[in-house]
Chains A and B, each alone.
Chain A
Amino acid sequence: MAALHSFIPQPPSNALPRLWTFHGGIHVPDEKSLSNAQAIEPAPLPARLVIPLQQHIGAPARVLVQVGDRVLKGQMIAEPSGFISAPVHASSSGRIIAIEPHPIPHPSGLSALCAVIETDGEDVWAELPPPLTDYPQRYPHDIRERIRWAGVVGMGGASFPTSVKLDPGADRPIHTLIINGVECEPYITCDDRLMRERAGHILAGVRIMHHLLGVERVLIGIEDNKPEAIARMRLALAETDLHACTQVVPIPTLYPSGGEKQLIRILTGREVPSGGLPAQLGIVCQNIGTAAAVADAVLEGRPLISRIVTVTGRAIAAPRNLEVRIGTPVSELIAHCGGYLEPPHKLICGGPMMGFALTHLETPITKPTNCVLALTEAESPDPGPALACIRCGRCAEVCPAKLLPQQLYWHARAKDLDRVQDYNLFDCIECGCCAQVCPSHIPLVQYYRYAKTEVWAREQEKRKSEQARARHAARQARLERQEQEKQARLRKQKEAVKSPQ
């Protein structure tokens, strides 16, 4: 831990920090010009909103409403059920017409419990809590409670409850807050637009997080293919009292620089330990969109009920950046963007590198959904049949986790679950670099995801059988005890019978 703080005394803040590199990574055509000139505009209010009751990592939220209830915009319809949990709010006013399983954006194409709201078109707000503009005078606990109430989760994809991340505990001092404005996935421009148009608001959120964490410095990392966002953020920064401890740091464009571990490495040279958290290094990382949502919650008392979504791809008539109510079906957004120019070859939720195919057009937008991508066949051709691995090592060369993807593949294919873990399967961030360069067109990431689920399933099995064994042992013990007690009773009775003689 001593070494950890050795670099903290910072040079004057206008000197940019030294940048580090991570192993591998790839250059992919960024395709951002399809949508990055489109200013954020509100998406229309849909007739129905399908709001998943769990949009975060952690314990599911508890439903607070019933079918037939009338709800107002911003009203909490599900409350958190544990420390690591987040509430869900209605994103417009209307009536709950169903609470039922519905397809949600998930790699597995799963369905999950959703509240379906028939909107009334009036969009009336519920009564909102007062703004906490005087937050520096308030208890950190109250500010965090507000963020928690607002249902703010990581908007960069991880969807971990933000209030928890902003509460690392007294024994774990945080010295650096990293704001992720990298947006390294091709096509996606929502964070870019947000930075260009609402830099001041983002920084207001950053200031709140800075206050809560008590950090010494804030680093805002932005890929250098977004010069305007960098300029806007710098301009806005100069107007705040944050500029003494905060820097906007342009970083070279290289996928996946926006991965949390990669960004931390680039900006600080530190590696998050395998299986560990950035907080172990005294670092917390938050996304641009999350910062804006924190500002909404604290300064305006508004819950997280909408987000910016990029709707793009060459199959879309008019790609746009839309401010979308959580729960809006994907089909509405596509229609709002002029529909398709040609039937899309693939419809994807998220970016082309890590996103997953949407199987259902009525899938709703959730808090971590940053992009809806309709790709033509030319943009996303099917790779053709996979050939055998020729062990060329191209995958290992680009793997940002420094793994040996070819060996992982080998063992994943053989279903050798011990060996895949020896080769550090769980350090794979599923960035897809390896699959992109593989000359044999092996769907490597698919194998890794599959192997991970297998390992989890096996562990669950093990836990279950251990529990069963424990139950069995407990039962045995109980039976034995009962037997002994019975014997003891019998003996006593016998003795009792004998003794009068």
Chain B
Amino acid sequence: MKTIISSPHVPRVNRVDRIMLDVLLALVPGMLAMTWFFGWGLLINLVLAVTFAVVAEAAVMLARGRSPLIAIGDLSAVVTAVLFAISVPPMLPWWLTLLGMVFAIVLVKQLYGGMGYNPFNPAMAAYVFLLISYPIAMTTWLAPGMLAEHSFTFMESLRLILDGTLPAGLDWDAISSATPLDEMRGKLDLHLTIDEIRHSPLWGYVGGRGWEWIAFWFLAGGIYLLWRRTITWHIPVSMLLALAICSGIFWSLDPQTHPFPAFHLFSGAAILGAFFIATDPVTACTTRQGQLIFGAIIGITVFAIRTWGGYPDAVAFAVLLMNIAAPTIDYYTQPRVFGHGREHR
């Protein structure tokens, strides 16, 4: 007979790697949409980021004298890499991806003790680190497919990412384009009205053309995660609701200087952040009530930074900010334990 193994003696129903795999699966539609609108760049970044992240993770585990297989097998480094690749511009130079992944895996994740111990979301910490250090590269987006002057072939994308060479006859000004949030913010600062701003081929039904579809497919992935019970509704719903309510209030006060709520929801990283980033269990709140607060403050912060702050999008900042607050919120939102205090009858 074997050594004493503690109860329960039934098969376990969940596995960390399955959860991570589910998250990756849920990201696929959104990533396909991004590839459709922005070309091969995302996929190249994806391969690079995953490779760098896995190698970095393995190296640290080896240095700590542990088996790298278990750490890589939980797929958390892959999820970090994929979220990073989705968040950065599609033609980001490869060495920034390398820098970002080393920062995320070695500093943010492993130096704090590895999986489960990191207070900050590694992908978002790396994103913010690069955004502050290399603001130009991190904000140079392409125009979505139907608006672009040039559609990059795979080899052209690869060259651009690996050694920064643009195809002959093109320069950055010609191919780059502001993101919808940039565009909106920039034009509002020039005192144009929303109607005037939206009178441009850049805009689709609610947000930027192309962009809104990407957000839609991430939303579909998020709903899949809810259906699979991989995540619960608390964080995404409270975050999006808070964002919608804040923007709704200002929009109803003055619809010409404040974009309507749907624009906020379907622009930038709101949907992606709500379902895939803020829900990272390691760095989010763990009590249900805490999660509602956590999500809501992220939503409010996103709105505030987008409206008055120095950056057009703010999901990464808001998430990192709330990562710090999560343990405290958890502490003050413990559920009433069975048999304690007043019964709710």
Q: Which residues of A contact B (CB under 8 A)?
A: 22-23, 28-29, 109, 186, 261, 265, 269-276, 345-348, 352-359, 373, 375, 379-383, 385, 387-394, 396-397, 400-404, 406-407, 423-424, 427, 430, 432, 435-441, 443, 445-446, 449
Contact = CB atoms under 8 A, between A and B. Distances in A.
Interface string B279-294: 0011010111001000
Contacts of B334: 404, 407, 423
A390 B116 contact: yes
B143 to A, nearest CB: 39
B119 to A, nearest CB: 11
Given A352-B10, A404-B286, A449-B6, A427 B116 contact: no
A357 B4 contact: yes
B237 interface: no
A445 B8 contact: yes
Contact of B7 (A355, A388, A439): A355
Interface string B11-41: 1111110110000000000000000000000
10 contacts: A109-B4, A261-B339, A271-B338, A272-B339, A357-B2, A404-B334, A424-B337, A436-B10, A438-B12, A440-B116
A87 to B, nearest CB: 30
Interface of B: 1-2, 4-16, 18-19, 70, 74, 76, 113-117, 232, 281-282, 284, 286-288, 291, 330, 334-340, 343, 345
A380 B340 contact: no
- Chain B binding site: helix, strand, loop or mixed by DSSP? loop
Contact of A436 (B13, B18, B74, B282): B13
Contacts of A347: 1
Given A23-B338, A427-B340, A443 B6 contact: yes
Contacts of B6: 356, 435, 443, 445-446, 449
Nearest to A353: B8
Contacts of B11: 379-381
Contacts of B288: 393, 396
Contacts of B117: 388
Given A272-B339, A396-B287, A407-B286, 19 more contacts: A22-B338, A261-B338, A275-B339, A352-B8, A353-B7, A353-B10, A357-B5, A379-B11, A380-B11, A388-B116, A391-B284, A400-B338, A407-B334, A423-B334, A427-B338, A427-B340, A435-B12, A440-B16, A449-B6
Contacts of A356: 4, 6-7
A393 B337 CA distance: 15
Q: Report the 9 A-B pairs with minimum CB-CB distance, sorted nearest first.
A: A388-B116, A432-B8, A446-B6, A439-B14, A274-B339, A392-B281, A352-B9, A401-B338, A353-B8
B166 to A, nearest CB: 42
A437 B13 contact: yes
Contact of A387 (B116, B286, B291, B338): B116
A385 B345 contact: no
